[in-house]
Amino acid sequence: MQVSCLRARMPSGTINGMHAGAQARGVATVPASTTTVLEVTRTRATRTFGEYFESLLEASEFANRVELAEASGVDPGTLGRWIRGEKLPTLDKLIAVAPHLKVRAGDLAVRAGLASMEDLGMVGPPPAPPLPAIVRNIITRLAGPDLTPRQKRALTNHLAYALEMFDEMLEEINSAPREPRMRRR
């Protein structure tokens, strides 16, 4: 991604590059006689994998890539070629290096361009916590062939009644005045 920076010479009476009247209306106006673009510079918004990997190495407990190589079993020359951008890593080597840098192998694979976050299932909300055993049991019984439709309706109605009672109990608890707590000394 490239970002352009524009420097402009504006007429006197401007505030933050906008004419005071235009700023109040939220619209920028520049007289036609004014030079608006003096210089355009381009900068890179993202780092290469090598730059990213080098920053992880610098932030790690390892003094240099030789120490990381000894710990992970990946050749130090290979690590140097990754940093210089001469070679892309392989997934097996990323898996070997990741725990030593305290990152997920998937994050390294995405940064190296070997996979996307979607490929690795890293997009979207985190998985829900597991359901309690009783809830799993109810779902299994309702979905299974062991109960007749009439029995499934009876179980569903009974659960709906139990849920109503639970909601009433919660409402009662939440609406009751709270007793003051005693402070410990």
pLDDT in tens, 63-107: 999 999 999 999 999 999 999 999 999 999 999 999 999 999 999
Instruction: Check residue 2 and give its pLDDT.
Output: 40
Reported as half-sphere exposure (CB side, CA atoms, 13 A), residue 147 has a value of 16
Let me know if domain 49-112 sits in CATH 1.10.260.40: yes
Q: What angle do CA 179, 181, 185 make, to 5 degrees?
A: 165
Reported as half-sphere exposure (CB side, CA atoms, 13 A), residue 180 has a value of 3
The predicted-structure confidence for 98-152, as pLDDT tens digits, reads as follows 999 999 999 999 999 998 888 888 777 766 778 888 988 999 989 989 999 999 9
Contact criterion met (CB below 8 Å) for 142 and 156: yes
> Domain locations in the chain?
2-44, 49-112, 133-171
| Residues contacting 76, CB < 8 A, separation 6+ | 65, 66, 68, 69
